[in-house]
Amino acid sequence: MTTCENHADHTHNTTCKVCKSEYCHDCHPSYLGICDKCGYKILIVLVVVMVVMSYIAWFGVL
């Protein structure tokens, strides 16, 4: 376990549910238990899926 730069007295006791890396829950609180990097990756995938689905809905391509 390593310590956070901002919270030297705390340890990284939270692990990401997706990538299993440690992150500081005090600096980056997450209700889902995922780190920021995985959260951004999931958001990018959701945006791409939304664009594809809207293209399919408008033009009927499938």
Average pLDDT value for the chain: 82
Q: Which tens digit of pLDDT belongs to each residue from 12-38?
A: 568 888 898 888 777 777 888 888 889
Residue 41 pLDDT exceeds 60? yes
Q: Is 35 exposed, middle or buried (0-12, 13-18, 19+ CB in 10 A)?
A: buried
Let me know the angle formed at the C-alpha of 17 by 41 and 43, rounded to the nearest 5 degrees.
Answer: 20
Predicted confidence band of residue 53 (pLDDT cuts 50, 70, 90):
very high
For residue 10, give the nearest of 23, 18, 19 by alpha carbon. 23
For residue 24, give the nearest of 52, 46, 47, 5 by alpha carbon. 5
Give bridge partners of residue 15 from the DSSP assignment. 22
Which pLDDT belongs to residue 48? 97
Residue 45 pLDDT exceeds 80? yes
Which pLDDT belongs to residue 1? 54
